[in-house]
Amino acid sequence: MAHRETAEQRRQSLLGELRRQLEGVEQQLKALRQRWQETQDADRYRRWGELLLTFAHEIPDGVTEAVVTDYDADPPQTVRIPLPEGKTVTDAAQHYFALYRKLKNAADALPSVMERLQRRADELRQLMEQVQNADESELAKLSEEARAQAAPSPPSVQRDGEFLRYVVAGGYEVWVGRNADANAKLLHLARPDDLWFHVKGAPGSHALLRVRQRNEQVPPDAIREAAQLAAYHSRRRTSAWVEVDYTRAKYVRPAKGQKGLALYTHFKTIAVEPKTPDDIATTGEGRR
């Protein structure tokens, strides 16, 4: 009887853990589906930017809304465009272009992330059903399987003192700071045209992609993988989708009196799934 009760306790404990994992996955899916709906407005923001530049000379200073005619529509239609407070018409146009690019990046990244999360949710439901119906001898095996699926595989990486060093697509080396001191040193060692990465609005390591020559145009695959590393080494590692800012190192400067923090300009934002190069190679991304 005691043995049977122990087995039932193991079953309920395992079901509780799987249920918590499933709830977390479903919450992420809900947030990403909402974000996906937002991406459908991307082309509208691009068009707003174009119309603001076209009619900039006709829009009075100080207004909060521009009313223009879109003659490319069939038939032509009146368009009302909100103007962000404190921005000129030209600045507002650039604001909408930046929003367009951000949403397009998200639209490119989200489908594969949502597909992966949906597979994980299906796997968890299937595993829960197996646990519900398992006899005592099967419970231990299912428990091991659940632990194996939940544990991330350790990445292979060179540890060089304060930095972690990875190689991403195209053979580019990416250095990641391991603490605040390393983040500060990373910026000190950066060359002006190196690419600097940091998760938007969250604590995390700084990442630096080392370029080979001045004004080098880094391929998109390398940028994406470096951003994935920055996301992986942040507090948002377990999120399904993370926004990462990146810019040339010459546009980054240390924040006074705040070790390891930085201020930056001229940045772009990319939406990625937190991963290491090992994870990327396993899924076949970025190795074409």
Across residues 114-135, what is the average pLDDT? 85
| Domain match, 55 and 93 both | yes
Q: 271 lies in a domain?
A: yes
Non-local (6+) Cβ contacts of 250 within 8 A are: 192, 193
The answer on 181 and 94 residing in a single domain is no
Q: What is the dihedral of CA 245, 249, 250, 252, to 10 degrees?
A: 50
Is residue 288 domain-resident? Answer: no
User: What is the count of structural domains for the chain?
Assistant: 2
Q: What is the tens place of the pLDDT at every residue in 147-204?
A: 666 544 444 445 555 788 888 888 888 999 888 888 888 888 899 999 999 998 888 8
Percent pLDDT > 90 in the chain is 31
Q: Do 7 and 108 belong together in one domain?
A: yes
Look at the alpha carbons of 76, 81, 87, 92 in this order and tell me if their dihedral is positive or negative.
negative
- Structural domain including 203 reads 158-283
Specify if 6 maps to a domain. Answer: yes
User: b/e string for 4-21 if b means 16 or more Cβ within 10 A?
Assistant: eeebeebbeebeebbeeb
Q: What is the pLDDT of residue 283?
A: 40
Last residue of a domain, one of 121, 151, 181: 151
pTM of the model: 0.53
- Considering the domain architecture, whether residues 86 and 101 belong to the same structural domain is answered as yes
- 25/102 same-domain check: yes
Q: Do 176 and 207 meet the contact criterion of CB atoms below 8 Å apart?
A: yes
Q: What is the largest CA-CA distance in the chain?
A: 85
Residues 125 and 3 grouped into a single domain: yes
The pLDDT value recorded for residue 147 is 67
Cβ contact 244:230 at 8 Å: yes
The reply to whether 144 and 10 lie within a common domain is: yes
Is 112 within a domain?
A: yes
Q: Which ranges in 40-83 belong to alpha helices (H)? A: 42-54
Asked if the structure places residue 277 within a domain, the reply is yes
Would 102 be classed as within a structural domain?
A: yes
Q: Are 177 and 116 contained in the same domain?
A: no
Token output for 207: 């990442």
pLDDT above 60 for 90: yes
The upper half-sphere exposure of residue 221, i.e. CA atoms within 13 Å in the direction of its Cβ, equals: 14
Distance CA 31, CA 212 (A): 39
Average pLDDT (38-67) is 90
Residues 132 and 163 in one domain: no
Determine the Cα–Cα distance for residues 271 and 200; give it in Å rounded to an integer. Answer: 10
> Where among 111, 129, 151 does a domain terminate?
151
> Do residues 103 and 185 both lie within one domain?
no
For 240, half-sphere exposure in the C-beta direction (CA atoms, 13 angstrom radius) is 25
- What is the reported pLDDT for 276? 74
Q: In this structure, is residue 194 part of a structural domain? A: yes
Are residues 119 and 207 located together in one domain of the fold? no
Look at residue 244 in the predicted model and tell me its pLDDT. Answer: 93
Cβ distance 236 to 211 under 8 Å? no
Q: Each residue of 232-275: pLDDT tens digit?
A: 998 888 888 889 999 999 999 988 877 668 889 999 999 888 88
pLDDT above 90: residue 50: yes
Nearest 10 degrees: CA dihedral of 103, 108, 114, 116? Answer: -150
Q: With H, G, I as helix, E, B as strand and everything else as coil, classify residue 19.
A: helix
- Write out the two tokens for 118: 């949906």
What's the whole-number mean pLDDT along residues 107-112? 76
- DSSP secondary structure, 33-93, as one string: HHHHHHHTTHHHHHHHHHHHHHTGGGSPTT-SEEEEEETTSSS-EEEEEE--TT--HHHHH
Q: How far apart are CA 149 and CA 61, in angstroms?
A: 58
Shared domain for 110 and 252, answered yes or no, is no
Q: How far apart are CA 48 and CA 56, in angstroms?
A: 12
Query: Is residue 9 pLDDT above 80, yes or no?
Result: yes
pLDDT at 208: 94
Residue that finishes a domain, picked among 99, 129, 151: 151
